[in-house]
Chain A
């Protein structure tokens, strides 16, 4: 409805047809344009004569037009068109005739050129009304939605004036007005409503109708947005409210189980390194499965974005949604938009919370006495002829009574290393506002988390974990010219982490390797203890005595976008250009040292400890530095078109983009070359009568990593949709089902993440082991060899099919979305696995060789019911299941069918099949031969090939794998008046944990190495009653037989159900109490995160997965917070 002066002529002429029904806005503009005086018509006018009976006024207009040669020009809304009247005019001037004809109509007229322009009669301004002493006073009331819930922030405006106010938290408003005025009440997502003020009421109740077709609701799609109702692509979005309330530093951890279609696991809780792995619809390839993440349209990582700054978070899953991303889209796409400002007075939001953190579950070690007893038992089992126990009764006694903790220590290493509690806190303040021409959003965030590592109080430095992050975000949106918009965003973060001098994994590993009875953390005289074997470290030494590492990271994002509306030229056409520059840096300074360590070997005559010095330490902190970082340029330009022709909606898009990302600290030439993408994307959509939809998406793009000539690929996708509920025949059902929509898509998307081998089309020279010559001089040569042979390769292709259904029922209270999908990933980058060794190829050549079939479904449901004006209940949930199967892995077939990888799950585990424990010597004698020291109590395996012996040919598929196939989440939100209680439960299933590794496997290296978990007592014993214990017969070392081979015995169910979130909040509803403090709203809340986990796996936090649990566990936190708006 905007136009330039240039177009007026055309506009006016089109209006003169009289068929246009124009909005008041046009009239205002016209009036504004036409500044000439009203009395300008000619004296030589023809006279008008009308004799009409019982006709509408329009009929009268036609007659006048005929007689006068003038045209009427009006807005149908302004006239009373239906009423039929009699018109009798004889030979009157045009003006006089019009006076008569329009007598009962609420319009006035003026004449210009050959036009009779009708406009609504001007309402006199309040001042004027005062003059004529029309009663004036306060009108107040409440704005509610159809469910009776107060709408806060709704605009209440007096029609044709600038007087306006907005509703408070309770939906209440009051406004000074006069009688006969009209109030317009509006709020986004609702149909605006006009109320005639008949008398000065103070208890108006205005109920806004929801805009039932939700035409306002848009969803994000690749390079744009679409009306939700007619969108075809499979897309799901995350409730931002959920995201914001999580007391976590890394938002990747808030995704799992919150959104249909995402498979995600978190493997560590170490602050700053606790991000989750995220896969959209599981893993479909042997190469990189990471989805493409776009923040404000630019490829970026989102782990450190402040959730407060996120406006929307969407996941694009099918080909229809992702084909436009071409070679980058095969793994799915995550779209994140940051917040923009809205016009109005500055609104300040403030949110802060503070919490305590705790480990969810820490592995428990056996105490020293148990360790000694178990070692003796294992030793006796393996050395039946031994005359004396490994550890004497005296030693066990001294360990038990703690009389000499220096020589007979009994240490729980977990207690030595960790505090019980840590803390985290988050503060965010943002402000937004602006005028019609410029809006802004500014935000500053702070996050701090301290870990649970202990420190040596004597040390002059801090070695415990402390992670602090500052975020800032700014978005400016300027209406530069009438049709030209400029958006500018700059955001970034700074993260500062402090860590112990030794890596977390080495500290944890040391705690798993060092038994409880060898050395204390430090001797009574303060000496740091150390064993003789230098690969068994004292974890306390590693944690507290090795200095510290300071880890500084910073990220700066900037993007600028210029949008030009081309509607005046072609209606519905617009264009934009965008440029962004991102820069990331990390800077790590390690100030590490070693201290003197000692081993007490005994006591002298006086009882003083005798020490051997194990290590001569360094006296000061050393220094080393490492850097990393990248910079990225991105350019995008596009033309968008969107228009309606009657019942037909059409849209189109064509877009060019290119990106350039350079590793700023590359270590070789190849990796120093920027990674580049370049491409064109296009889309055309068509919808008829909001019933039938069709869509074509195209991506045509390429990556620098492929050979010239085969760089570019075309990725098309097609989609169809049908809204059944809009059909005529559906009308009888409309009261039960408000929306029923089916949609389907098919298309091809690519993946060019080739996994380390860039420029596969050229043969590389690689450095290898060299060789040394020379008698006295050292004449050493580096080695050179052919690295990778050239191979013609291109991107992986994913052929994706998606069929979805959307349902809205129970008076819009229940919504349900289900998607079924299948995907064939072809041409997966793999190295040839079928070349015999005698070919002598150093690195097997790459090729587009692999193929994976993936299929599954995901769904979302939401129930939203208002039980009374104060009481509402919401229940939401989602579910995702996928299974990927290997079709081709470029390898030679295995000798036996059960060993084949093809046709099996991607990530399938293989191992021996345990069928229980041997119970007697006879059973062993009558069973297939197992190598090593086999006795009753050892694991009995199934002879798959049956050749009478158990070996690697008997390894078949066992368990699921480490990546879950099923992930789901659900939770209620109940609010009553100001109180609200919400919870979220996350579940993961079809996943398992493979146990293994030193510290889990008892006595894998005999003594001196290898801790024991406290469940070690649950083992097989000759006269034991437990026929299915955790551990088989203990042996010393445990490697003396096949008990700890990879087998189904050590595969444990990794499914769990986790109360991820529980929140209680109170929102103050009395605005009169808040106003004195300048507050618009205030909410207080308590939140618990990772509060409880239900799983049959008990040894460590089940989400950490395979191995022995030797990594920083996940944390649970309890936070309280405040959330207010000024």
Chain B
């Protein structure tokens, strides 16, 4: 009987355990997407994810190329992709700093949020429809912002629309073509206008500082419309053949002056909000005023900031090697030369400028420059305030070959130009104690809006345009501590000269803030500024050091107006056309 019992047991075991429940064990109470959008905290976390794509552009050595691939900065390290771009070693296949996948992920997440947040029970109960509308407007702004970020890098882009692309669709069913640049602009402006309706003017609670406000959306509109009015996008007949496969023209072929008007209006609208003002230090010291625009958190000039960021590493990259830094971000001689003299004139025009001799052991090139120069450039012999691992005393920068910060023993950590960026370097960062001064990264500030307005007005012309333009240009110069145009020291200017002065001012005022790359392109002057980059002779000591030498050559090709659409995308998007020249 034993074996019969055993068979029975085996059989029972089979029947008993063979029921499918054994494999059915995914718990029912795990978080699902439906639940995320019924609760407040997870919905806010989803929105935080949409926010997270806001670029942290403090990393200019291997995060974004907008500074190191212009005439502003020479990045020390050949290991980073910036170097490959500068020597022209890139193509659609290898394109570093590609952002297509990144920002379209942000765009999809924003769309998902907009399409799912309606009817969120908990938010409706706790805060009502207004907060729901505000969050939706934030997501809508962010989606528009990511489109803008793609447009500035790639020109005309694919607009996906209000629905997420289904993930199981066949490749043929999801083919989309690029929209003409003007259509992209209209779309983004329209989206921004929609979001402005439901965004607060200022965030009422301090804990929400950093969230999107009306002013941020309006500031973005100002920058976008300024770009759209500029020669690169406004009647650029060089790109007559840049068309979709179906023949759609992607860049407008006729110049439209009214675009400048729209740009001017958008900038003025921000100014007219009257909630932002240029930052000025209480001491009235223009060096401090200018430095602290970026170093004083949440000051009134800031419109859009990113609270968490990588500025602590920026500080190390800008610090002297003898202070434990990496000595890596060297402004070019071209950038140094762009700074005005203290009389408000350029070095070509000013009688104060000299490239011979020394004053108190400082090379005369660095004497009598404008306050923003001293706030922004660390040059040989300048005192550096920052932490040091052996000495707490102030230091003097020594970039010559055998100097303590020089090339000789620097390995790969030495300035290639004989300068370091001093702007936005926090004196409180101390490599000895490991202290990092964390502060918000400024993405949009009123100073830029003033310059946007001045430029748009000067370009648009018409009644009051020169006065309006000069007014805001001079407000920038006033804060910078140099004479205004139309004052006793400097004559007023107009026409193309005014435009040139505004561009020169913009270069200096917004130096190292990630504008230059886009500005020189939209102005279509990029060909003139690329090529050989200069610096001091870091292979020499003594007076030999103070010679202008070529430190590198930043290659330029017409194709470089925009990034290439990646080969990855070209292989998958059958309606995609490649950017010209790639």
Chain A residues within CB distance 8 Å of chain B: 383, 386-387, 481, 483-484, 532-533, 536, 562, 564-566, 569, 575, 577, 612-614, 635, 637, 639, 656, 658, 669, 673-674, 676, 678, 680, 702-704, 708, 711, 759, 762-763, 765, 767-777, 779-786, 789, 791, 832, 834-842, 844-845, 892-895, 931-932, 951-953, 1004-1009, 1037, 1039-1040, 1042
Contacts and interface: CB of A to CB of B under 8 A. Distances in A.
B241 interface: no
A385 B78 CA distance: 20
A546 to B, nearest CB: 19
A676 B571 contact: no
Name the residue in A562, A577, A676, A1006 with the highest tally of chain B Cβ atoms < 10 Å from its Cβ. A1006
Interface string B385-416: 00001100000000000000000011111000
Contact of A782 (B45, B89, B297, B567): B45
Contacts of A777: 206-207
A772 B33 contact: no
B308 interface: yes
B52 A676 contact: no
Contacts of A789: 167-168
Interface of B: 2-4, 6-7, 9-10, 13-14, 17-18, 20, 22-27, 30-33, 36, 42, 44-49, 51-52, 54, 77-79, 83, 87-89, 91, 93-94, 100-101, 104-109, 111-112, 158, 160, 164-165, 167-168, 171, 174, 176, 206-211, 297-298, 307-308, 321, 324, 326, 389-390, 409-413, 539-540, 566-573, 576
Contacts of A562: 6
Contact of A1008 (B10, B389, B411): B411
Name the residue in A639, A777, A783, A1007 with the highest tally of chain B Cβ atoms < 10 Å from its Cβ. A783
Contacts of B31: 765
A770 B41 CA distance: 13
Return the 3 tightest CB-CB contacts between A and B, nearest first: A1008-B411, A840-B108, A783-B49
B14 A838 contact: no
Given A763-B32, A765-B31, A781-B45, A953 B572 contact: no
Nearest to B209: A775
B413 A776 contact: no
Nearest to A531: B411
A770 B54 CA distance: 11
A840 B27 contact: no
A520 B450 CA distance: 57
Contacts of A775: 206-207, 209-210, 297-298
Contacts of B9: 577
Contacts of A845: 167-168
Contacts of B14: 637, 656, 680
A772 B210 contact: yes
A635 to B, nearest CB: 8
Contact of B54 (A612, A771, A894): A771
11 contacts: A702-B23, A770-B52, A777-B207, A835-B167, A835-B171, A835-B572, A841-B165, A841-B167, A892-B571, A894-B571, A1037-B79
B168 A931 contact: no
A614 B389 contact: yes
A410 B48 CA distance: 54
A844 B105 CA distance: 11
Contact of A1005 (B3, B4, B87, B412): B412
Name the residue in A569, A680, A837 with the highest tally of chain B Cβ atoms < 10 Å from its Cβ. A837
Given A613-B389, A785-B46, A676 B89 contact: no
B48 A770 contact: yes
Given A711-B20, A839-B174, 9 more contacts: A533-B413, A711-B23, A765-B32, A774-B206, A775-B298, A784-B36, A784-B49, A835-B174, A953-B93
Contacts of A892: 171, 568, 571-572
Contacts of B42: 765, 784
B3 A564 contact: yes
Contacts of A1006: 78, 411-412
Nearest to B433: A616
Contacts of A765: 31-33, 36, 42
A1039 B79 contact: yes
A1008 B94 contact: no
A757 B123 CA distance: 33
Contacts of A658: 17, 22
Name the residue in B88, B94, B165, B167 with the highest tally of chain A Cβ atoms < 10 Å from its Cβ. B167
Contacts of B308: 771-772, 780
A791 B166 CA distance: 12
A371 to B, nearest CB: 14
B207 A1005 contact: no
Nearest to A788: B167
Nearest to B84: A931
B6 A678 contact: no
A768 B9 CA distance: 50
B309 to A, nearest CB: 9
Name the residue in A565, A566, A784 with the highest tally of chain B Cβ atoms < 10 Å from its Cβ. A784
Contact of A673 (B26, B47, B100, B411): B26
A1008 B76 CA distance: 14
Contacts of A481: 2
A782 B22 contact: no
Nearest to B309: A772
Contacts of B4: 569
A914 to B, nearest CB: 17
Contacts of A1037: 78-79, 412
Given A386-B539, A840-B107, A774 B93 contact: no
Contacts of A673: 25-27
B446 to A, nearest CB: 18
A835 B576 CA distance: 13
B25 A674 contact: yes
Nearest to B431: A534
Contact of B89 (A484, A536, A931): A931
A778 B85 CA distance: 38
Nearest to A899: B93
Contact of A676 (B13, B23, B211): B23
Contacts of B18: 656, 678, 680
B101 A784 contact: no
B28 to A, nearest CB: 11
Contacts of B22: 658, 676, 678, 704
Nearest to A568: B3
B477 to A, nearest CB: 30
A711 B540 CA distance: 73
Contacts of A676: 22-23, 25
Contacts of A791: 167-168
A782 B6 contact: no
A680 B13 CA distance: 12
Contacts of A773: 207-211, 307
Contacts of A784: 36, 42, 45-46, 48-49
Given A656-B14, A658-B17, A711-B20, A1039 B78 contact: yes
Contacts of A762: 26
A842 B105 contact: yes
A704 B27 CA distance: 12
A424 B25 CA distance: 47
Nearest to B91: A951
B216 to A, nearest CB: 13
Contacts of A767: 45
Nearest to A660: B22
A781 B109 CA distance: 16
B108 A841 contact: yes
Given A612-B390, A1006-B411, A774 B307 contact: yes
Nearest to A781: B48
A533 B210 CA distance: 36
Contacts of A894: 571
A824 B452 CA distance: 63
Contact of B209 (A484, A536, A774): A774
B573 A770 contact: no
A179 B431 CA distance: 101
